Amino acid sequence: MTQQELNSKKIFEEAREAVLRQHTRRHFLKESAMGLGALALGSILGSCGRGSAKQVSTILYDPANPLAPRPPMFPGKAKSVIYLHMAGAPSQLELFDYKPELAKLDGQECPPSLMEGKKFAFIRGKASLLAPQAKFAQHGQSGLWISNYLPHFSTIADEVAIIKSMTTDQFNHAPAQLFMHTGSPRLGRPAIGAWVTYGLGTENQNLPGYVVLTSGGNDPDAGKSAWGSGFLPSVYQGVQCRSEGDPVLFINDPHGMDRDLRRASIDAINKINQHQHEEYKDPETLSRISQYEMAYKMQIAAPQVMNINDEPQYIHDMYGTKPGEVSFANNVLLARRLVEKGVRFVQLFDWGWDSHGTDPQTALDIGMINKCRKVDKAMTALILDLKQRGMLDETLVIWGGEFGRTPMQENRELVTAPFKGRDHHTDAFCIWMAGGGIRGGSTYGETDEIGYNVISGRTEPFDIQATILNQLGFDHEKFTYEFQGRPFRLTDVKGRVIEEILA
Amino acid sequence: MIIVALLLSISEVIGNFHPVLVHLPIGILLLAGLFQLLSLKPQFSSLHAATGIALFWGMISAIASCISGYLLSQSGDYDEELVNTHKWFGISTAFISLIAYLFNRWENVFAKWVILVMIPSIIVTGHLGGSLTHGSDYLTKGFSNNEASTAGEMKPIADVQEANVYADIIQPIFENKCYTCHNKRKRKGGLRLDEPSFILKGGKDGEVIKPGNAVESDMIKRILLPRNDEDHMPPKEKPQLRENEIEILHWWVSTGATFDKKTKELEQPEKIKPILLSLQKEVKKVMPDVPQAPVAEADEKAIRKLQERGIVVLPVGQNTNYLKANFVTVDSVTIDDIALLLEIKKQLVWLDLSGNEISDTILTYVSRLTNLTRLQLDHTLITDKGIASLESLVDLQYLNLVGTIITAKGILQLKSLPRLQAIYLYKTFINSAEWQMLKDNFPKVTLDTGGYSVPILETDTTVVTLPAKKN
């Protein structure tokens, strides 16, 4: 054998080995298990008759077209969702939970019996109660209590339902945010928006079904996992868009590349991916192909919808928007535009609500007022604008944080904070919902006289999630995804639809 | 003592099996009748042997049902009168089945006549038993269209202060949420809530309310227990009390659980006032925007053709064949598209044409989609002339005309639509002077004029800083 022959033989063997190496133990087990399973299933179904083998599973998603629109389990009241998350947790005691008794007890020591066995992020030992810093009044025909921190919002009291009895079991931002959005304080679960996109697909094939917008200078502590797809196919994760400059980085074709060339290159990439899929049958490859397709279509559609410059001046006045800046107001207006174009789930995060009182920015009577001023007008405008466009009854709007704040003033290492602030509190906070089949002007649940504990209508993140799914037409107990050998639910083993606030 | 208690609990367990056991004699004895009937024909004469076996086991199970039924009736949870009729019919049935079995065994010629009598006796007994557990109207419930009773909402009260607290406020709550188990017919735990005297008397475990002391009243205690608690009322699988209803019951008991007083005669804490006031408000009945009547599946070919055009056509839910359609990514709507929609007109209930160049001509085709309940025509080119054709959409509830050149004259043409709930008219050509006239013409419809503004406040743009610490 010549050297050349030896070389080619060696290359041939290496190639063969490489192919064999692709067949890992995992592949072998998976394929043989599937094969045996399929054989068994075939014989079972054969004896039952084909007609009886009707699929019971609730969602059938097509990996080649994972975002195709699908019907919900039953006709839902809401078509889309706008979730406004105030990252850092706004103080319920300065906004919606009116506690005159707490004002009387200002400066007095919090009874140790209340704090015994509780974990706080910073408070240790004794702490004194802190009076509500805002002034409260009843608003609208329904007489909801709303503070003077939200002068605009209080004019639409009759449109919203306030849940005053929210609780959670996580006292740090990241896990609490994950719990709120994915149903688990740990990583790895899909966010509500991912579940919804998995269940409903998207009606507008030129835009993603699940868009995320952030403001306030930082992303939420939970990071991108708060809009991740977890164990769901990755195509269902939230698409984070920027409200300044290009909505998605590199969305424009580079200089010298025209639309035809872009098409040709995407076709070529898809062909290779198709080949790859035929070999390994990984559904994620199909998702990838469809994502390239969507990206191509989005290049035209996204810049159009994300451009708020073409809104008339009176809309900018209404929302308080200034085109070109990164702000909560701009994001809220974008959310309305996206929902109008058929996007299912728009998730907003506004950072900077962590009022510990360690500096003026986090003081309840300084920084928090400024935060309120930045969101009050825009969120009020959103509700009114959706209403006048005939969209409020089919758009569910949710506003809230990841936990509440203590009735006590924060102290760190027994030193009282220099400004008026409150620590993280898991036992009571408020969330409001509007539109999408929610009964306006209603409240649910109640806390004790100082707003420490819930005394009636205790609500958990699971209940909010169950309610969101219900309004979209899903039974949260039956809406599942098979993973690691068992069906998983957004609400795990809990959750109750809060019927009391439904119209 | 222990043995007596044990025997009592065993008898209770056996009694609880009655609702399961009763199905056996019903099934087996009816089958015996069928066998008897069939065996009269020569080709089925071999079934005669089976009749005897069926009669034997039917009789045994009928006797077992009688015993368990007797034990269940001892619990006192049911209306005595009704139970008695059911009991005697049941015992007669068992007795007749015994006779039938014996006659059949002795080859007596009257055997088939006894079986003939046995059949209606089973049916009557079964029906009486069913009425005991499910209510006397359980058979006909499906036929009656009494929406008010299923909605479970209280009727609005003209003047809540003048209302009789028990008759007008408390009794309707009991009726909606408690009567199914605590009434004349069925008295779970020995408790009846349908008459004042029974309410005060309480149940097996004693009084359920202590007038003037809500916290110590068993009824209120149980209502406030967590839903998963075994003692929680109403049981977790039954319709639950709303928070307002709980507040009202609490207030009623703590003010002495009166049966003849008016609201104004009772003390009213701050908390209860808005709740009482809310009883005066008319609860707007939510009309379903998907028809209740089932419909056949739509033509798949038509749906596929529409989807190829980029039109989203989908069932409104997996549990129904009704469809919705929207044109969100379609650039131009043609008459052909609407013609395709006409092929699925029976199923199509929601249609979204917003933002498309819909002309009056196309609208005349749309007006033939007579099952539509929701129609979005916002930001289209339709005019007053075209909108007249929508008069044919008698089921229409929601109509969006935002951003069109429709005027008040155009809207008035829709006056006759009987089910309309809301019309959205923001950015249309209606003079503000005409609003009142329009509202008078559409007394039951929400006309949303839009044009809301959020005032510009000085505080919107000012920033609070350190020196201005005190707000």
Task: State the nearest Cα–Cα gap between B206 and chain A, in angstroms.
Answer: 27
Question: Within a 10 A sphere around the Cβ of B50, how many other Cβ atoms?
Answer: 17
Domain ranges of chain B: 2-134, 151-278, 300-448
Tokens of A93: 């005691």
Residue A24 has a CB neighbour count (10 Å cut-off) of 10
Across the interface, do B317 and A151 touch by the CB < 8 Å criterion? no
Interface contact flag, B459 A373, Cβ < 8 Å: yes
Nearest Cα to Cα of residue A91 among A328, A350, A354: A354
User: In this structure, what are the phi and psi dihedrals at residue B110, rounded to the nearest 5 degrees?
Assistant: -80, -5
Q: Identify whether the C-beta of residue A110 lies closer than 8 Å to the C-beta of residue A363.
A: no
Contact A499 B316 (CB under 8 A): no
Residues 160-179, chain B: which have Cβ within 8 Å of A?
none
Chain A nearest C-alpha distance from B317 (Å): 4
Stretch A120-140: mean pLDDT = 91
- Chain B stretch 121-140, residues whose beta carbon is closer than 8 A to a beta carbon of chain A: none
Q: Domain A80-247+306-501 in CATH: superfamily? A: Alkaline Phosphatase, subunit A (3.40.720.10)
Are the Cβ atoms of A365 and B471 closer than 8 angstroms?
yes
SS3 category, B335 = helix
Say whether B320 and A457 touch across the interface (CB within 8 A).
no
**In this predicted structure, what is the pLDDT of residue A51?**
36
Return the residue of B nearest to A420 by Cα. B469
**Nearest CA distance, B128 vs chain A (angstrom):** 35
Kindly tell me if the per-residue pLDDT of A284 is higher than 50.
Answer: yes
The distance of B182 to chain A (nearest Cα, Å) reads 24
Out of B318, B319, B450, the one facing A388 most closely (by C-beta) is B450
Pairing of strands A404-409, A411-412: unpaired
Determine the distance in angstroms separating the CA of B314 from the nearest CA of chain A, rounded to an integer. Answer: 6
Q: A317, B456 in Cβ contact below 8 A?
A: yes
Q: Is the Cβ pair A384, B454 closer than 8 Å?
A: yes
Residue B453: its chain A contacts at CB < 8 A? 314, 317-318
Neighbours of A223 (CB within 10 A): 13
With b for 16 or more beta-carbon neighbours within 10 A and e for fewer, the B159-186 pattern comes to ebeebbbbebbbbbbbbbbbbbbbbebb
* DSSP state letter for A437: T
Q: How far is A84 from chain B (nearest CA, A)?
A: 19
Residues in chain B closer than 8 A to A388 (CB atoms): 402, 424, 426, 448-452
Please check the confidence at residue B148 and state whether its pLDDT lies above 50: no
pLDDT tens column, B103-120: 988 888 888 888 888 999
CB pairs under 8 A between A and B: 127
pLDDT band at residue B142 using 50, 70 and 90 as cut-offs: low
Residues 413-432 of B with CB under 8 A from A: 422, 424, 426
Query: Would the CB atoms of A377 and B460 count as touching at under 8 Å?
Result: yes
A400 CB burial (10 A radius; 0-12, 13-18, 19+): buried
Distance in angstroms (rounded) separating the CA atoms of residues B87 and B78: 12
pLDDT at residue A56 above 50?
A: no
Q: Which two tokens stand for residue B20?
A: 């399961």
Q: Are A373 and A321 in contact (CB under 8 A)?
A: no
Q: Do B454 and A377 touch (CB under 8 A)?
A: yes
Condensed to tens digits (0 to 9), the pLDDT of residues B345-378 reads 999 999 999 988 889 999 999 999 999 999 999 9
Judged by CB atoms closer than 8 Å, whether chains meet at B312 and A69 is answered as yes
Residue with tokens 């009669």: B55
CA-closest candidate to residue B192, choices B84, B78, B70: B78
Yes or no, beta carbons of A366 and B459 under 8 Å apart = no
d(CA A68, CA B245): 44
Optimal mutation site among B428, B454, B457, B466, interface A, most CBs of chain A within 10 A: B454
Chain A residues with beta carbon closer than 8 angstroms to that of B315: 71
B275 to chain A, any CB pair closer than 8 A? The answer is no
Mutation to test the B interface, candidates A204, A316, A341, A366, most B Cβ within 10 Å: A366
pLDDT band for position B469 (50/70/90)? Answer: very low
* Tens digit of each residue's pLDDT (9 = 90 or more) over A312-332: 999 999 999 998 888 999 999
Average pLDDT on A240-250 reads: 79
- Chain B interface disruption, residue of A79, A377, A438, A462, most B CBs within 10 A: A377
d(CA B176, CA A391): 34
Please check the confidence at residue B287 and state whether its pLDDT lies above 80. no
With beta carbons under 8 A apart, name residues in chain A contacting B312: 69, 203
Q: Do B452 and A341 touch (CB under 8 A)?
A: no
Taking an 8 Å cut-off on Cβ atoms, the answer to whether A71 and B314 are in contact is yes
Interchain proximity A365–B464, CB inside 8 Å: yes
DSSP reduced 3-state for B389: helix
Per residue, the 3-state secondary structure of A160-204, as one string, reads: EEEEEEECCCCCCHHHHHHHHHHCCCCCCCCCHHHHHHHHHCCCC
Structure tokens at B192: 């009846």
Q: What is the mean pLDDT of chain A?
A: 89
Residues on chain A touching B462 (C-beta within 8 angstroms): 373
**CA–CA distances in Å: residue B15 to residues B12, B64, B90, B188, B205:** 5, 10, 15, 14, 20
Does position A41 have pLDDT exceeding 70, yes or no?
no
B54 phi and psi angles, rounded to 5 deg: -60, -40
Contact state of B400 with A366 under an 8 Å Cβ cutoff: no
- Give mean pLDDT, residues A284-304: 86
Tokens of B190: 């020995």
Helices (H), B280-344: 300-308, 335-343
* Half-sphere exposure of residue B390: CA atoms within 13 angstroms, side-chain side: 32
Give the pLDDT confidence of B248-283 residue by residue, as tens digits. Answer: 999 999 998 888 888 888 888 888 887 888 787 665
Q: Which residues touch A457 (CB under 8 Å, ≥6 apart)?
A: A163, A164, A165, A444, A445, A446, A500, B243
> Could you report the per-residue pLDDT of A252-277, keeping only the tens digit for each?
888 888 889 999 999 999 999 999 99
- CA separation for the pair A20, A160 (Å, rounded): 61
CB contact under 8 A, B318 and A151: no
Please check whether the domain covering B2-134 is classified as CATH 1.10.3470: no
Cβ-in-10-Å burial (0-12, 13-18, 19+) of B61 comes to: buried
Output the average pLDDT for chain B.
86
Residues of B in Cβ contact (< 8 Å) with A73:
317-319
Share of chain B above pLDDT 90, in %: 38
Q: For residue A26, what pLDDT band results from cuts at 50, 70 and 90? A: low
The pLDDT of residue B43 is 87
| Confidence check: pLDDT of A53 > 50 | no
Model confidence band, residue A47 (pLDDT cutoffs 50, 70, 90): very low
Beta pairing partners, A212? A240, A347
Residue located via tokens 């995320």: A212
**In chain A, which residues fall in CATH 3.40.720.10?**
80-247+306-501
pLDDT score recorded for residue A50? 38
Inter-chain residue contact A74 with B318, CB threshold 8 Å: yes
Distance in angstroms (rounded) separating the CA atoms of residues A208 and A236:
9
The residue ranking higher by pLDDT, A77 or B149, is A77
CA distances from B251 to A109, A405, B165, B170, B361 (A): 33, 32, 11, 10, 61
Cα(B364)–Cα(B389) distance, integer angstroms: 6
Q: Which amino acid is at A147?
A: S
Identify whether the C-beta of residue A399 lies closer than 8 Å to the C-beta of residue A431.
yes
Name A86's bridge partners: A350
B146 pLDDT higher than 60: no
* pLDDT of A48: 45
CA A189 distance to own-chain centroid: 12
B6 near A CB under 8 A: no
Is the confidence at residue B6, as pLDDT, over 80? no
Residue of B nearest to A202 (CA): B312
Partner-chain contact A74 B320, CB within 8 Å: yes
Contact between chains at B318 and A73 (C-beta distance less than 8 A): yes
Q: What is the mean pLDDT of residues B423-429?
A: 94
CATH match of B300-448 with 3.80.10.10? yes
Under an 8 A CB cutoff, do A499 and B240 touch?
yes
Give the pLDDT confidence of B314-350 residue by residue, as tens digits: 999 988 999 999 998 888 888 899 999 999 999 999 9
Is residue B288 over pLDDT 60?
yes
Q: What is the interface pTM, i.e. ipTM, of the complex?
A: 0.83
**B152 has pLDDT over 50:** no
B314 to A70: CB separation less than 8 angstroms, yes or no: yes
CB atoms within 10 A of CB A170: 18
| Cα of B329 to nearest chain A Cα, Å | 6
Contact between A380 and B454 using a beta-carbon 8 Å cutoff: yes
Provide the pLDDT for residue A446. 92
Rounded Cα distance between A151 and A376, Å, is 7
**Cα-to-chain-centroid distance, residue A384:** 22
Residue B224 distance to chain A (closest CA, Å): 8
- Most trustworthy range by pLDDT among A90-99, A254-263, B219-228: A90-99
B464 touches chain A (CB under 8 A): yes
Cβ contact, residue pair A390, B424, below 8 Å = yes
- Chain B nearest-CA distance from A467, in A, is 16
Three-point CA angle B275, B280, B285, nearest 5°: 100
Task: Give percent above pLDDT 70 in chain A.
Answer: 92
Contact B318 A384 (CB under 8 A): no
A455: exposed, middle or buried (C-beta count within 10 Å: 0-12, 13-18, 19+)? middle
Q: Which residues pair with B350 in a beta bridge?
A: B324, B374
Other Cβ atoms within 10 Å of A278 Cβ, number: 9
Q: What's the DSSP call for residue B188?
A: G
Residues of A in contact with B465 (CB under 8 A): 360, 366
Taking residues B206-234, what's their average pLDDT? Answer: 88
Contacts of A444 in chain B (CB under 8 A): 243
